Each structure stands twice: as structure tokens, then as C-alpha cells.
Chain A
């Protein structure tokens, strides 16, 4: 990346600015994980190991929860990875945009791929399809800085504070609020709305399935619903 290219710096700072709000949620979410991990009996380095090696909050919480219940190791891994299967969908979504990058850059993109960085990049690439690969990567890098290293910092704070955070702060609900705040602005068309509704109904109906699998099935149904609605609306508009 040539620092002299102003379009790259524009893209980088746009990503950075767009990601800044997530600082307010990634840090509390990380704090929550740090607290949950140390309360679950994990050592300092083990809790930090989760956040640095995995950086995927939902699956980290899943693993800690399952291990508290003494779930067999293989099932802990399978279920926690199932929660992360959506990352493969994100990867497929970003591939047409970033697939041409060299392997080491794609490795970094993959390592830092979280719900927030994906959602921001996906939205930006859709809105500005004319961007070059370098601009897209610069945006991605900008979007990762407020959202990823802050996950480690949040976890660290959580481990250090441990149980001294009062329950009155309802930190648990920072997670759903984050997700909802990401979803709402995405509901920009009828198919998006249909997909979201199918996703909610299916997830609640399939909640009895083993952890992670209900979410996967609901997501698959919702993607089909969104794509079919889009096809149907296009056909009706053409007729």
C-alpha cells in the first residue's frame, strides 16, 4: 500500500470512522467474556488465549458455557465451530471483492473477520462497487482497528475486574443491543426485511435443536427467503 495514494487513506479512514461506534459495544462484550471466563475457572492466559486465537465472541461464550457443563471435548469443539459456520458465509460473501489479494493479506482478512468487520465491509463494497482491491483492503483494515484489538483489551479488563462489576450494569444485554443496532440499518429493502423475519421466527422455532445448529438452519432458510423474494419482486416488476 502506497501511503501517497490519497484514495487509500480515504477508504481506510472511512472504514475506521464507520467502525468507531462498535468500540462502545466490542469493549463491553469483551469485558463480559473476560468476566465469564475467569468466573468459569479459566486462568488469565487461557481467557486471553480464547480472545486472541479465536476472536469470535459467540463461539467463545458457547465453549465456556459447554465446558462449565462438562461437555465432552469433541462436542465442545463441534458446537462452538457450528456457531462460527456463518464465518464461511461471510468468507464467500467477501471472496468476489477480496479474493484477488495475496494469501498473506487474505489470511489477515480472515483472522480479523468478525460480525462487525464483515457487516461494515459488505455494506461499503455494496454501496461503492467501483472501488479497487487496494481501496477495499484499506477500508477493511480501517474497520478492523476499532473492532478487533479492542476485543483483546475488553477481555483483559474483564479478567482483571472479574466479579467486581455489579450485575446492575446489565452488561449481558450489550450483546443483543449490538446485534440489533447492526441489523436495523441493514433492513433497506423488502427482501432484507423478509429474510430477517424468517430468521427470527425460524431461530425461535428451532431453538430446541443443539446449540448452534438451530441458528444455522434458520440462517439458511432466511437466505432462501430473501433471495426468493428478490427474484419474485423482480419478476413482478418486469411483468
Chain B
């Protein structure tokens, strides 16, 4: 990796990624100011988080990199327990603790 890119290009990538990400984050905050968005736009934006995060996580759950993309029962069960605990308790920490407990139990029992 180092020999392929060389130190200057590595830093170029890091800095450009930093600037580009900042521009994306600042975009609407900076442009729109405090003018209220139209109702239809707000109706879409209400679902931003539940639209993006499941899409990010679904492939990670089904095809974990640690198992080379193979479906892993322990990780699948842990994911299910996390969601169930989150739905029941409405509490993120409880969901994380439940999920990690299920993961370690599952890895220990199933291997």
C-alpha cells in the first residue's frame, strides 16, 4: 500500500476526504440558513436516519467481513437480539449490551 501510493498521495487522500466530508456536512446548514423547509421536504427528511442506517448495516449483518462474507449464526442471532432489545426497552445501551451478550454467548456456544 505504502509503495503503491507514496506518503504525499496518502496525505492527499486523507486531507481531501476530510475537506469533502466537511463540505457535505456543512452543505445544507450553510446554504439554507433558518428559512423553513417546505412540508414535503420535511416529510422526506423525517425518515433520513431509518432510511440510511439499515442500508449500511444490513450487508454487515448478513455478510460479515470477519467470516469472509459467510452468513454467521452467532452474528445473526446477536443482530436479532439487539433489535428485539431495542424495540422492547427503547434504550440504545440496553440494546447494545443485549446484542454483545448474545454475540459472545453465541460465539462461545456455536463457535
Contacts and interface: CB of A to CB of B under 8 A. Distances in A.
Interface of A: 20-22, 24-25, 40-42, 46, 49-50, 53-56, 58-60, 63, 67-68, 70, 73, 76-77, 80-81, 84-96, 98-100, 103, 106-107, 109-111, 113, 115, 118-119, 122, 126, 167-168, 170, 172-187, 191-192, 195-200, 202-204, 207, 214-215, 218-227, 230-231
12 contacts: A42-B10, A49-B14, A70-B4, A73-B12, A107-B26, A115-B49, A173-B75, A173-B103, A176-B61, A177-B82, A218-B55, A219-B51
B18 A54 contact: yes
Given A99-B35, A172-B66, A222-B47, A46 B11 contact: yes
B21 A81 contact: yes
Nearest to B102: A177
A201 B53 CA distance: 13
Given A90-B25, A109-B29, A177-B78, 7 more contacts: A21-B96, A25-B96, A88-B25, A176-B64, A177-B82, A185-B91, A227-B46
Contact of B29 (A110, A182, A185): A110
A113 B53 CA distance: 15
B18 A53 contact: yes
Interface in B43-57: 43-57
Contacts, number: 290
Contact of A63 (B13, B30, B55, B66): B13
B24 to A, nearest CB: 4
Q: Determine the main DSSP class of B at the interface with A.
A: helix
Interface of B: 1-2, 4-5, 9-18, 20-22, 24-37, 40-66, 75, 78-79, 82-87, 89-93, 95-96, 99-100, 103-104, 107
Contacts of A182: 49, 53, 92
A81 to B, nearest CB: 5
A199 B49 CA distance: 10
A207 B29 contact: no
